Amino acid sequence: MSEMNANDGAGRNFLSDNTFGASAEVLEAVAAASAGHSPPYGADSFTEAVRRRLGEVFERDVDVFLVSSGTAANGLALSSLARPWGSILCHLDSHIDNDECGAAEFFTGGSKVVTVPGADGKIDPDALQRAIRRGAGDVHSMRPSALSISQGTETGGAYTLEEIRVLSLQAKAAGLGVHMDGARFANALSRLGASPAEMSWKAGVDVLSFGTTKNGTMTADAVISFRPAASAELAARVKRAGQLPAKARFHAAQLDAYLSDGLWLRNAGRANAHASRLRDGLKGIPGVELRGEPRMNMVFCALAPPVVKELLSEGYAFYHDRWEPGVVRFVTSFSHSTADVDRLLASIRRCSAPEPAAERPPRPRDGSRHHCVRD
Amino acid sequence: MSEMNANDGAGRNFLSDNTFGASAEVLEAVAAASAGHSPPYGADSFTEAVRRRLGEVFERDVDVFLVSSGTAANGLALSSLARPWGSILCHLDSHIDNDECGAAEFFTGGSKVVTVPGADGKIDPDALQRAIRRGAGDVHSMRPSALSISQGTETGGAYTLEEIRVLSLQAKAAGLGVHMDGARFANALSRLGASPAEMSWKAGVDVLSFGTTKNGTMTADAVISFRPAASAELAARVKRAGQLPAKARFHAAQLDAYLSDGLWLRNAGRANAHASRLRDGLKGIPGVELRGEPRMNMVFCALAPPVVKELLSEGYAFYHDRWEPGVVRFVTSFSHSTADVDRLLASIRRCSAPEPAAERPPRPRDGSRHHCVRD
Amino acid sequence: MSEMNANDGAGRNFLSDNTFGASAEVLEAVAAASAGHSPPYGADSFTEAVRRRLGEVFERDVDVFLVSSGTAANGLALSSLARPWGSILCHLDSHIDNDECGAAEFFTGGSKVVTVPGADGKIDPDALQRAIRRGAGDVHSMRPSALSISQGTETGGAYTLEEIRVLSLQAKAAGLGVHMDGARFANALSRLGASPAEMSWKAGVDVLSFGTTKNGTMTADAVISFRPAASAELAARVKRAGQLPAKARFHAAQLDAYLSDGLWLRNAGRANAHASRLRDGLKGIPGVELRGEPRMNMVFCALAPPVVKELLSEGYAFYHDRWEPGVVRFVTSFSHSTADVDRLLASIRRCSAPEPAAERPPRPRDGSRHHCVRD
Amino acid sequence: MSEMNANDGAGRNFLSDNTFGASAEVLEAVAAASAGHSPPYGADSFTEAVRRRLGEVFERDVDVFLVSSGTAANGLALSSLARPWGSILCHLDSHIDNDECGAAEFFTGGSKVVTVPGADGKIDPDALQRAIRRGAGDVHSMRPSALSISQGTETGGAYTLEEIRVLSLQAKAAGLGVHMDGARFANALSRLGASPAEMSWKAGVDVLSFGTTKNGTMTADAVISFRPAASAELAARVKRAGQLPAKARFHAAQLDAYLSDGLWLRNAGRANAHASRLRDGLKGIPGVELRGEPRMNMVFCALAPPVVKELLSEGYAFYHDRWEPGVVRFVTSFSHSTADVDRLLASIRRCSAPEPAAERPPRPRDGSRHHCVRD
């Protein structure tokens, strides 16, 4: 069983960064925005401030559309790049293919999402090239018309800037628009130590889903367009999709606070640092096998089944046995404290210590991928 | 010129009830919901509480979907009732036809919105019957498949319960689903003195857009389904439209507070009372002609052009000359104080007094309807 | 009752030009095309020949897509011009709004069809200007994105070249694409004595539904694009809509014969001449009131109810009482002979003669328009 | 190079059964249907006759919709079974996923086509079960809502009745509608020796794409519905998709002739017999390796490259090197004569004889599947 233990304390919850609340600064900004009166539908000063701030963050003029979910951001962004008769190329593990109930198909009016393999959650350039070639032939196949890159990846990794550039160049050469699903954009940025501009439009991204809810806001994400032609239609598409609320200032106030005084980068840095600390701590624990490279605010490792069982019984919450048997995922959040991480480490150490957890994890029940992690 | 004077005080803003903030209780609930951790995507206790409260409010089990705008609520509700090859019948003035950039067409996958005339913003039953008959013939016409009623109407009126029942019965007899656009549901309820059940499912409504942002919340409205078949598909449609945010509790907390201790009815009652007070006050002012019956939280009246000009120069904001020349609309909100209303009355009295505003309003520039009121 | 009397002879059928078969030359070409083998999906020599012929007919390079119905031609053509979030402006009587079960909405992915009034089935330029202005305001309204002109009109009239140019210029100035529904293109051409180029792209038409089935083919109409950007997406849209049959040569062979040796112009000229002869003959019959101007291959006139009754009892078939009480429509076809026309005239003369048909037609049952003529 | 040699004689063309014309009986019926007059839009006696004949063929009442291509038939059929938010499960090789430019996505309004593996072009029941389970979880995944089976398969095989029943039962148990893509329905029927009823509704099929163009007609295929709920919406969907031509009798006349006097079964039997004869003949030729089981009207075999080259130079046309290097496909048609088959055999025998074609075929250039066979 790998369900969340909902009654336990937040400090023991390492399920996902979407289980926590918002930063205090965001809540204060929302309360402040409620005072007085303000023009509706995004003609307010808060929305204007967000546009200005994002212009500074990305070092250029950008078009910004605030929406209420990452799924909406992805669907709208893709609809401005992919035509109904074109396909969208993305990684096998991508959220848009597995976890959004066909939002891409809905918003685009019937594009086909075509998956491309690649190790470690990243699209393999050769596989991308094959996918591009395969559909380019004639009118019978859906011609690839957009590439969607998840940065960070669904398993917490991050493409290097060079990797993004390579994929974007391939896409551009074939006339595809480039979308980035940045549900954890800030965490990836923090991991790479890159600038927002470098990790987006300078690397070839046309339209970005700028995720913020996992990293400090409540119910607001942004579509950021670096391509005026996409922006032009996004204005209408956003309205038509019910993503332009009358009191849009309440979305804008969240992002305004999020982007002020580097809150967003501090939050992401903090979550990532927690993961590094956890990873470092795990290295010294016998019987724990770390998996993969360091990954933003996630740690993957193999734990012996009794350890998993004991942790759950102590009130910890995390996903396990979704990737391979015995492998668990811990997601850290800006909401965690260092003490939360240390407590988790102590618990794992204690559970792992007494008697060796020698037994092998059970055989996989089924070789197929599981898509029931709810990030 | 009829633009909003954005720099003026909220107390002088009578443009629309969407220009104000949220109730203090709602803001507090949102802040409180941010503490700790909570399962994502609507599996949280706040969402459960809203469902329970709405069950009590409507005196039966209901299915509830919290969304981020009234446009999303309408589009989703209609998509669960109208088929792509069917038409949606609604009033000429309806928001879904005029102000949502084709959300109904988008969410349904290509239904046709067909307008029906009727005095005072209400669908005329005979005209409805003709519209139903017209499309029922054969495969070449789009067969009417849903009726959408705005309660309150776009011009602030309210159908009587009997009027709703008559239209619903006509619709049901022809196999149409019945949608109610309740962007000002609470104001209409307060105006009629009816129960929520009487004004919705007991009168034949299948799916209700339960508007709350104009009356006290920030960015959350609800689709309430009284028809299980519609509910079943709404769950998927809501997700797919990006209207199931990860931190859904922040939407739910808004409605939870809104529905607690009668806040929603108090707010609507207060806004409506302001309008009554304003209307009563205007009766005694020479040169002011009231238009129409009392209308929830709106007052329409004809003012002489110099009076309009003088009020605007004093910092008042309101729409005028959109319906007929010389006619202004004042919308009152729960955010107004009685003093705000009295100040407005005093200003109108003063402006109207000194010299008779004898001049005729100018001829209409164009006979066509205007749809630039942004409610 | 105005149903067709299906058992009667074709020579007495004046219901619509879609009730007749195909020209002998077309049937022969189809049979000839069946011999041997041919590449599928439009890579055949017949399709190439049609493209070449249409290039000659329109005096320029054109892109051609052969489809199986006028509804498909209109839907596809519009989908290449109107965006899902834009509206399509057309005449109140237009086939695309009244008779295609929402094909425009389906093919475009949710555009809104907005009707514009105008006398005699023609869009009024002032009304068009108002419609263009109305939607141009902001993101809440659907912005007009295409104009659709029916040439000939639904009631058999024909815009002059100057009228088409005026409407197109208005459309172009506002950024709208221009579509022409040419279900009776050949009849209109014959009526005007214009060249195909003059009546289409030289007058501002971007994409044309080139109807042929009413005028001599079986099941093939064409979308002709004069705008390369539209053509590019049409190729994919046509395939995706199932309008690229494997044995496309059978569509192409029909058009090849239709366009050969002026068959299409001869057929249309013949049908129009029948209507002129009928009209001229009716002038001399007491009690018959001609309605409107001469109209391609249609004649409208008021007949006394007993005359209508008597004609029907003699086996004539035609629509009546659809426009106003007592008014009948006779549609002539290339399939009719002059003798058929003369026989009809003789019958009307005889029925009208004996006793004066003095009684007034009954009052209209309902003021609303009827859309049950099946052209 | 594997392009068709278009200039060669039909008797040497073994590319696909869609490269040939129609049966003489079909052409005669079309010519006969052109005489006289007939009600438009499917209210004609030819359409009625087809409905009656298909009722006899399938031993029950059926609803029939005649369309102009197999792609249209598939798209419309699927749209009546799969909801926009549901997925369609089909084989990896299926035409609907690979060769219809997203018709399924277009007609359904954004369903996702999910492929399932299985040997020999047939869906593996265990893989189907996994696919059904995978999407059944929650609102984040697209829930499987239809199963599409190609009978015959894309590589010319045929499911046994038992195999169809097993897949259908799995689908039904999970609430999925069952579609059969019967582009080569008659060939499969002939191969199995089953009755049409056994191979369709008795085996669980809800809606059938009844292909006829590959087996004797010109431009008409049929959607046959065994499920009244699907039929009800199909009527509107067909019209709206432009698949109800005014002169529908010309489609109906094709099917009427096709179904008369067993023409359709004779044609399929003849094509299949040609393939058997070819297969039997190939067995005795040294160096030729047959691949797979006997397959309707297709034969797969490995030929040495010089043999392929020589055959092409002699004017034969066929696809090769699309499945694996050195493998060719011969498709036989009712249009072929026995002499055509024998001539092909003689040519292969001659080419294979002189010097042994010992060299190995080249390594595959790429492991990915090719979808450029145009059936």
pLDDT of the residue at C1: 31
Q: Which chains does A contact via 3+ CB–CB distances below 8 A?
A: B, C, D
Whether D366 shows a pLDDT value over 80: the answer reads no
Q: How many CB pairs lie under 8 A apart between chains A and B?
A: 180
Question: Do B138 and C111 make contact, defined as CB atoms within 8 angstroms?
Answer: no
User: What average pLDDT does the segment A96-107 reach?
Assistant: 96
Chain B contacts to C (CB-CB under 8 A):
84-85, 87, 98-102, 105-106, 108-113, 130, 134, 137-142, 366, 368, 371-372, 374
Percent of chain C at pLDDT above 70?
92
Q: How many CB pairs lie under 8 A apart between chains A and C?
A: 44
The shortest CB-CB distance from A242 to any of B75, B214, B240 is to: B75
Mutation target for D interface from C45, C250, C336, C375: give the one with most D CBs within 10 A. Answer: C250
Q: Give chain A positions within 8 Å (CB) of C237.
A: 84-85
User: What average pLDDT does the segment A84-100 reach?
Assistant: 96
* The two three-digit tokens of residue C334, written as one number: 């290339």
Peptide bond just before C152 cis, omega within 30 deg: yes
The shortest CB-CB distance from A140 to any of D100, D112, D366 is to: D100
Mutation target for C interface from D26, D67, D68: give the one with most C CBs within 10 A. Answer: D68
Whether C370 shows a pLDDT value over 70: the answer reads no
Query: CA nearest C306: which of C259, C275, C350?
Result: C350
Residue A238: CB partners within 8 Å, gap ≥ 6?
A65, A67, A76, A223, A244, C139
User: Does the CA dihedral B334-B335-B337-B343 come out positive or negative?
Assistant: negative
- The single-letter DSSP state of residue B367 is S
Residue D362 buriedness (CB in 10 A; 0-12 / 13-18 / 19+): exposed
The tens digit of pLDDT for each residue in D6-56 reads 345 899 999 999 999 999 999 999 999 999 999 999 999 999 999 999 999
What's the rounded Cα separation, in Å, for the pair C128 and C133?
Answer: 9
What's the rounded Cα separation, in Å, for the pair A76 and A106?
Answer: 10
Query: CA nearest C143: which of C152, C129, C133, C153?
Result: C133
- CA of D218 to nearest chain C CA: how many angstroms apart? 6
One-character DSSP codes across C56-86: HHHTS--EEEEES-HHHHHHHHHHTTS-TTE
- CA of A134 to nearest chain D CA: how many angstroms apart? 8
Question: Do C68 and D219 make contact, defined as CB atoms within 8 angstroms?
Answer: yes
Whether B222 shows a pLDDT value over 50: the answer reads yes
Residue C360 and residue C44 in contact, taking contact as beta carbons nearer than 8 Å: no
User: What average pLDDT does the segment B140-157 reach?
Assistant: 95
pLDDT of the residue at A375: 87
pLDDT of the residue at D2: 34
User: How would residue D138 be classed by pLDDT, with cut points 50, 70 and 90?
Assistant: confident
Mutation target for C interface from B139, B140, B372: give the one with most C CBs within 10 A. Answer: B140
The secondary structure element, H or E, covering residue D295 is strand D289-295
User: How would residue C138 be classed by pLDDT, with cut points 50, 70 and 90?
Assistant: confident
Question: Do D22 and C67 make contact, defined as CB atoms within 8 angstroms?
Answer: no
Q: What is the ipTM of this complex?
A: 0.93
* The two three-digit tokens of residue B232, written as one number: 């079943």
Whether A148 shows a pLDDT value over 60: the answer reads yes
Mutation target for A interface from D101, D113, D126: give the one with most A CBs within 10 A. Answer: D101
- CA of B143 to nearest chain C CA: how many angstroms apart? 8
Residue C221 and residue C70 in contact, taking contact as beta carbons nearer than 8 Å: yes
Q: Give chain B positions within 8 Å (CB) of C2.
A: none
Q: Which chains does D contact via 3+ CB–CB distances below 8 A?
A: A, B, C
- The single-letter DSSP state of residue B37 is B
pLDDT of the residue at B363: 43
* Minimal-distance CA residue of chain C relative to B137: C372
Question: Do A235 and C83 make contact, defined as CB atoms within 8 angstroms?
Answer: no
Question: Do B105 and C99 make contact, defined as CB atoms within 8 angstroms?
Answer: no
The shortest CB-CB distance from B240 to any of A19, A35, A106 is to: A106
pLDDT of the residue at C300: 96
The shortest CB-CB distance from A141 to any of D85, D101, D110 is to: D101
Which is higher by pLDDT, C5 or C147? C147
Rounded alpha-carbon distances, angstroms, from residue A151 to A179, A189, A224, C334 = 10, 9, 14, 65
Question: Do A22 and B36 make contact, defined as CB atoms within 8 angstroms?
Answer: no
- Mean pLDDT rounded to a whole number for chain D: 92
Question: Do A68 and B22 make contact, defined as CB atoms within 8 angstroms?
Answer: no
Could you tell me where the DSSP H helices lie in chain C? 24-33, 45-58, 70-79, 95-98, 103-108, 125-135, 161-173, 185-192, 228-240, 249-259, 263-283, 305-313, 338-352
Query: CA nearest C243: which of B143, D75, A188?
Result: D75
What's the rounded Cα separation, in Å, for the pair C21 and C10?
Answer: 10
- CA of A109 to nearest chain D CA: how many angstroms apart? 6
* Choice among C68-82, D12-26, D124-138 with the minimum mean pLDDT: D124-138
Question: Do C85 and A236 make contact, defined as CB atoms within 8 angstroms?
Answer: yes
User: How would residue B357 be classed by pLDDT, with cut points 50, 70 and 90?
Assistant: very low
User: Does the CA dihedral D108-D113-D116-D122 come out positive or negative?
Assistant: positive
- CA of D244 to nearest chain B CA: how many angstroms apart? 10
User: What average pLDDT does the segment D125-139 reach?
Assistant: 88
pTM (2 decimals)? 0.94
The shortest CB-CB distance from B27 to any of A34, A240, A241 is to: A34
The tens digit of pLDDT for each residue in B162-213 reads 999 999 999 999 999 999 999 999 999 999 999 999 999 999 999 999 999 9
Which is higher by pLDDT, A47 or A1? A47
> What count of other Cβ atoms lies within 10 Å of the Cβ of residue D149?
26
What's the rounded Cα separation, in Å, for the pair B184 and B181?
Answer: 8
The tens digit of pLDDT for each residue in A216-256 reads 999 999 999 999 999 999 999 999 999 999 999 999 999 99
Residue B309 and residue B357 in contact, taking contact as beta carbons nearer than 8 Å: no
Q: Give chain C positions within 8 Å (CB) of B134.
A: 368, 371
- The single-letter DSSP state of residue B109 is T
| Residues β-bridged to residue D20 | C37
The tens digit of pLDDT for each residue in A263-297 reads 999 999 999 999 999 999 999 999 999 998 888 99
Whether B5 shows a pLDDT value over 50: the answer reads no
Q: Give chain D positions within 8 Å (CB) of C98.
A: none
Question: Do D84 and B109 make contact, defined as CB atoms within 8 angstroms?
Answer: yes
User: What average pLDDT does the segment B24-41 reach?
Assistant: 96
Whether C176 shows a pLDDT value over 80: the answer reads yes
Q: Give chain D positions within 8 Å (CB) of B41.
A: 139-140
Residue B268 and residue B189 in contact, taking contact as beta carbons nearer than 8 Å: yes
Is residue B32 classed as helix, strand or coil in its secondary structure?
A: helix
What's the rounded Cα separation, in Å, for the pair C299 and C271?
Answer: 11
Whether A104 shows a pLDDT value over 70: the answer reads yes
User: How would residue C359 be classed by pLDDT, with cut points 50, 70 and 90?
Assistant: low
B353: left (phi over 0), alpha (psi -120 to 50) or beta: alpha
Whether C137 shows a pLDDT value over 90: the answer reads no
- CA of C20 to nearest chain D CA: how many angstroms apart? 5
Residue D214 and residue D265 in contact, taking contact as beta carbons nearer than 8 Å: no
What's the rounded Cα separation, in Å, for the pair B132 and A285?
Answer: 73
Q: Give chain B positions within 8 Å (CB) of C102.
A: 84-85, 87, 110-112, 142
